[in-house]
Amino acid sequence: MRVLWPLPPSPDKNRVDAGFLDPHYPEWRKAQGLAPHQHPGVDLNLSGTSGDADLGYPVVAVAEGRVVHSAFHRVWGHVVLLEHDLPGLGRFWTQYAHLLFRVAREGDYLFAGEPVGAIGKGDPARPYLAHLHFEVRRAPLEADFWPGGNADLIREKYLDPKAFLMNHYEPRRRFFRARGVLWAPDRQELSGLVVNLEDPALAQIALRRA
Ligand SMILES: [Zn+2]
């Protein structure tokens, strides 16, 4: 199965700026005037950039799965939560937060590498420097669930995203989905086109009247 990092092309473009249960994280929060909570995910930035230079950079699904939540939240900004159930990995959830915008909608089924949104700054009312807050969860928590300072809860309900992605990184591409418009015989919207790259003669196309 295919597992990628959230900032394409992976893993080269992904720089971890705050790690899972990062010992510096509570101090960093205190310096921002926030409660000294623990970090249940990783903060990712585009390699080779600093400040807000990666604002708007695409964020993709790390594995195939269903979008179970896609919405704007105060403080979090735009959040997308995916549910995965994959051979060898079982059920797990990935959360993409502080997005500038979302392109994945609730109910969508995404393949690894399909866009979910773009790197943002969280809630515009109280923006952070641009980064992706990314979580891998082993429990079906609310999209905006925040464990606060409870490190034991984090160890129980979450996985270290960096270790998870390093252990399971698999770039081989077997499927490709394109979206477009088919102009004959009359205008029809392609709502889904899935090409099996192991046998390109096998394509599934879903059509919708425009
Ligand atoms: Zn974070």
> What's the pLDDT tens digit per position in 149-170?
999 999 999 999 999 999 999 9
**CB of 175 closer than 8 Å to CB of 192:** no
Nearest in space to 14 (alpha carbons), one of 171, 137, 174: 171
- The stretch 183-198 carries a mean pLDDT of 63
- For tokens 């092309």, name the residue: 9
Q: Would you list the domain boundaries of the chain?
A: 14-168, 175-209
pLDDT score of 100 more than 60: yes
How deeply is 12 buried, as exposed, middle or buried, from its count of CB atoms within 10 A (0-12, 13-18, 19+)?
A: exposed
CB 88 within 8 A of CB 145: no
List residues bridging with 92 in a β-sheet: 84
pLDDT digits (tens, 9 = 90+) for 32-83: 899 999 999 999 999 999 999 999 999 999 999 999 999 999 999 999 999 9
Ligand 1 center–CA 202 separation, angstroms = 41
**Out of 84-88, 103-107, 177-181, which region has the weakest mean confidence (pLDDT)?**
177-181
pLDDT in tens, 113-138: 888 999 999 999 999 999 999 999 99
Answer yes or no: is pLDDT of 200 > 70. no
CA of 106 to the centre of ligand 1 (A): 23
Q: How far is the CA of 134 from the centre of ligand 1 (A)?
A: 7
Measured in Å, residue 126 CA sits from the centre of ligand 1 at 15
Provide the percentage of residues in the chain whose pLDDT is more than 70. 82
pLDDT value, residue 195:
61
Is the pLDDT reported for residue 95 higher than 80? yes
**CATH number of the 14-168 domain:** 2.70.70.10
Give the residue from 63, 23, 20 showing the smallest Cα distance to 43. Answer: 20
CA 192 to centroid of ligand 1, rounded, Å: 33
Distance CA 44, CA 169 (A): 16
pLDDT at 179 exceeding the cut of 70: no
190 alpha carbon – ligand 1 mean position (Å): 36
Q: What is the 197 CA–ligand 1 centroid distance (Å)?
A: 36
pLDDT at position 99 over 60: yes
- Cα 133 to ligand 1 centroid, rounded to whole Å: 4
Give the model's pLDDT for residue 194: 64
Written as six digits, the tokens of 194 are 């899935």
- Measured in Å, residue 105 CA sits from the centre of ligand 1 at 23
What residues form DSSP beta bridges with 206? 192
Q: Ligand 1 center to residue 141 CA distance, Å?
A: 16
Ligand 1: centre distance to CA 175 (Å):
31
